[in-house]
Amino acid sequence: MNNPLLTSFKTPFEAAPFHQIKAHHFIPALESTISIALKEIDGITQQIETPTFKNTLENLQEIGTLVGRNSNLLFNLNSAETNKELQKVAQDAAPLLTRFQNDIILNETLFKRISYLYKNETKDSLTPEQFTLLEKEYKTFIRNGAHLNDDAKKKLRILDIELAQLSLCFGENVLADTQAYSLHIVNESDLKGLPDNVIETAHDIAQEKDKKGWLFTLDYPSYIPFITYAENRGLRKKLNSAFGKRGFQENKHNNSTIILQIVRLRQTRARLLGYESHAAFVLEERMAQSEKNVKSFLDNLNQKAQTAAKNEWNIMVNFAKERLGIETVEKWDIAYVAEKLKKETLDLDEQLLKSYFSLNNVLDGLFTIVKKLYGLRFIITKEIDPYHDEVKVYEVYKEGKFHALLYTDFFPRKGKRNGAWMTSYKSQNISQRPHVSIVCNFSRPTKTQPSLLTFQEVTTLFHEFGHALHGILANTNYSALSGTSVYWDFVELPSQIMENWCYQSEALDLFAKHYETNEVIPRKFIDKIKKAAYFQQGIQTLRQLSFAYLDLSFHDKNAHLIKAVKNHEKRQIESLKFIEDPPDSCMSTAFSHIFQGGYAAGYYSYKWAEVLDADAFELFLEKGIFDKNTAKSFLENILSKGGTEHPMTLYKRFRGKKPDPLALIRRAGLA
């Protein structure tokens, strides 16, 4: 078989030749490369030499590179450019890869060699990075069943395969429901309040579907503007209802049962490994350390935010009644009323603001900011094969040397899940530079306008680019410790700190330029953007906390008692909401972060990392947002180090102290 996945790629920088790769290539390639990797494992375990860091742990890092590369390709494409055939391949690949991981982790002889190293090597005999790797690998084996008896290991294998497949099913169901619905409008009067570019995009979508009028979908660039600006309250309700029903309808895509299965299997797995709950298992290897600490952190923020949130809600309710004629604010009114209130209170028109944030200008400005901070240069290339015609590829250079490949994928389409994320196609280690990708769902260009971003989309782009920098600037010896391979409640620091530059005049001047006149954004708008950062911070904080509390509740010691997902969700978050969700909507059934992504028992990480980024950026504000020494320190101690040392050690080396928890409270205006 002429299968490109069976060998290293003979391309510039060994970039993936996407157009040569077909769905039917994956399973044969995975089966073959897994077989090779397991034989290489035998090469380690059958040695008669005493285990050393070199002949055991370092050799282990070099095994299965093609397996990792091919699985990354498969699951990244399954998120950004999927179809029925690829989804079937992903379902078939999940048990293969899970068995492979378990064949390594549950290999008794291999574990004995690693255990020998763990007991006999010391910090003095290894570099800090080597010691961290040894500790991480040993804990990975222990935490994933290496110490179990044979019967327990068999149970663990079955659990892991079931969980891998259920997670894929969850994501497929959300995507199917998202794409199955569209709101078809034929009366122009129903478009009242919507911005011209949103209307134009909806018309283009309708034309693509051979329909007259306008089509609005559940993709974020279509959904968010509609519920924010459409004056037709009934249609806002209709679209919001469809959004809230994703994964919660009486069809084959209902995720309710899948959630209960995932939750119970995770708890069973945790208890099999000796933990009280999945949360206890996860948090053992987090900065937060325990469920108690996470709850204390969330409760403290909740206490700080409640008074402000209640006041903000009362203001919004009164405004809706007195100015908009809405007697009772419902879920489909919140974004609409909040936008009207913000416009009147701050005299800030988000649509007018968009004129200063064309995607191309923002991206160019972002490249300039990163060059000023870290000396990176981005050169677009046609030599690298993208996985879709809309994807652009950049060669990244630092000090004249190739440093990384960056793929950018910005617009929604069929086969691409909602949201925004950074991912990696090739990790960094001592012998290779990384290939990273940022994937977003921004508004497409229309026939009359370029892609214009809301300010929230601008911060989203900076956020994902921060993750990308964590990968691009990685400089470690081992992939297992490189880039975003860090504690999950530390991984958001590089992403969230980048958002801060969006609020600084010195940075905005570089990219916030009117797409028609090239006029730099006026100072009065910058002042309003800064004030808008404090707008409804209480309500926004409660919203994030509701996600974090709900996530934790699905993974605590009582998770097995959950009988109905909707009822459980309501009980967990009703104290953090001011209105009830409709009975036919459910947030949990589309909560991809925790049931498809890697944030199970970790959604609190966003708020946790906000404390870190607020505290860290105060140093940039003190020294200057483009201060070379501060940027160099952040690069050398945070971005380049990955997970080579404990995150608090790295953070204190950069900041000179532990993070101040009040930094977030000060920035949010909740003090």
570: helix, coil or strand?
helix
| Residue segments in the chain with a per-residue pLDDT below the cut of 50 | none
Q: Kindly provide the b/e burial profile for residues 83-113, where b requires at least 16 CB atoms within 10 angstroms of the residue's own CB.
A: eeebbebbeebbbbbbebbbebbbbeebbeb
Q: Which of 669, 671, 662, 649 is nearest to 615 (CA)?
A: 662
Question: Which bin fits 492, alpha (ψ -120 to 50), beta or left (φ > 0)?
Answer: alpha
Q: Would you give the distance in Å from CA 297 to the centre of its chain? A: 21
- Measure the CA–CA gap between 136 and 643, rounded to whole angstroms: 10
| Domain 4-147 classification at class level | mainly alpha
Q: Which residues are 489's β-sheet partners? A: none
Q: What's the rounded Cα separation, in Å, for the pair 469 and 81?
A: 23
Phi, psi of 424 (to 5 degrees): -130, 135
Q: In whole angstroms, what separates CA 340 from the centre of its chain?
A: 30
* Amino acid in position 451: S
Distance CA 470, CA 483 (A): 5
**pLDDT tens, residue by residue, 123-180:** 899 999 999 999 999 999 999 999 999 999 999 999 999 999 999 999 999 999 999 9
CA distance 331 to 343: 20
Give the residue among 560, 600, 569 at the shortest CA–CA distance from 587: 569
DSSP percent split of the chain into helix, strand, coil, nearest 5? 60, 5, 30
Orientation angle between helical segments 108-120 and 26-45, nearest 10 degrees: 50
The domain segmentation of the chain, as residue ranges, is: 4-147, 181-244
Residue 566 has a CB neighbour count (10 Å cut-off) of 17
* Residues forming beta bridges with residue 398, ordered by sequence position: 376, 401
Report yes or no: 493 and 609 within 8 Å, Cβ to Cβ: yes
253 backbone φψ class: left, alpha, beta (φ>0; ψ -120 to 50): alpha
Report which residue type is found at 285: E
Residue 356, pLDDT score: 97
CA distance 153 to 160: 11
Strand partners, 392: 408
Tokens at 549, concatenated = 């509390």
Structure tokens at 301: 């923020």
Beta bridge partners of 184: 215
141 and 113 Cβ atoms separated by less than 8 Å = no
pLDDT (0 to 100) of residue 1: 62
| Active-site residue, 457 included | no
CA 136 to chain centre: 23
- Selected catalytic residue, list 81, 137, 464, 492: 464
What is the amino acid identity at position 217? T
pTM score of the predicted model: 0.94
Give the per-residue pLDDT at 122: 87
Exposed/middle/buried for residue 536 (C-beta within 10 Å: 0-12, 13-18, 19+): buried
